[in-house]
Amino acid sequence: AWRTTLGVFQLVRGQLSYVDRSVKPPVLLALEEVEGKVTNLSSDPKVRSTVDLKARVGAAPLAITGTVNPLQAEAYTDVAVKSKGIELTPLSPYAGKHLGYLLEKGKLDLDLAYKIQARALQAGNVVKVDQLTLGDRTDSPDATSAPVKLGLALLRDKDGVILLDLPIDGNLDDPEFRYGKVVWRAVLNVLVKVA
């Protein structure tokens, strides 16, 4: 079989801009100060490539580290994604369209870990949203009919933090989500607020 090997792939002082004009106003996001290196990129199933990528999303740092082998048929991935303090207000047009409310403020922390081996998936998704505040109501026809403000109030703790811990296990063709921690945290938040 054809073998492909690339010793080092490196990004220095990169920038990536994303514009979505499907919503009004358009969503504009940018990754800046992108520095990264992928070493030993190979189609050989025995070789693991290392990934080390760092960037800034606004003022917030973003890091992606781990090992991958994307060039083989049964891809291997063991990657962690971490970020702290991503400003959510640039995503306000999405919230207006899908939630029915614009975003007034809020920050996002990510602690994600994904491992895929022989199509078996193990993932840890810890998402923290701090001080998420909804702004003006929109009349979007795509907005959910669910009680958004009530749902956020149930998830928010006494300090205004929403913590979602959603592990995923299973096969890539049939992953299983475990919502237990999210539900128990919402129940605990309600009990604390009532007390």
Q: Is the pLDDT of residue 75 over 80?
A: no
State whether the Cα torsion 92-98-101-107 is positive or negative: negative
For Cα atoms 181, 186, 192, give the angle at the middle one, nearest 5 degrees: 120
What is residue 63's predicted lDDT score, i.e. its pLDDT? 97
What is residue 11's predicted lDDT score, i.e. its pLDDT? 92
Please state the pTM of the whole predicted model: 0.81
Say what percent of the chain tops pLDDT 90. Answer: 53
What's the average model confidence in pLDDT over 90-111? 94
What's the average model confidence in pLDDT over 96-114? 94
What is residue 130's predicted lDDT score, i.e. its pLDDT? 96
What's the average model confidence in pLDDT over 119-137? 91
Name every residue whose Cβ is closer than 8 Å to that of residue 1 and which is 6 or more positions away in sequence.
43
What is residue 89's predicted lDDT score, i.e. its pLDDT? 94
pLDDT band at 1 (very low <50, low <70, confident <90, very high): low
Q: What is the pLDDT of residues 153-189, one digit of tens each?
A: 888 888 999 998 888 887 877 766 555 555 555 556 5
Tokens of 66: 């781990």
Percent helix / strand / coil, the chain, rounded to 5: 15, 55, 25
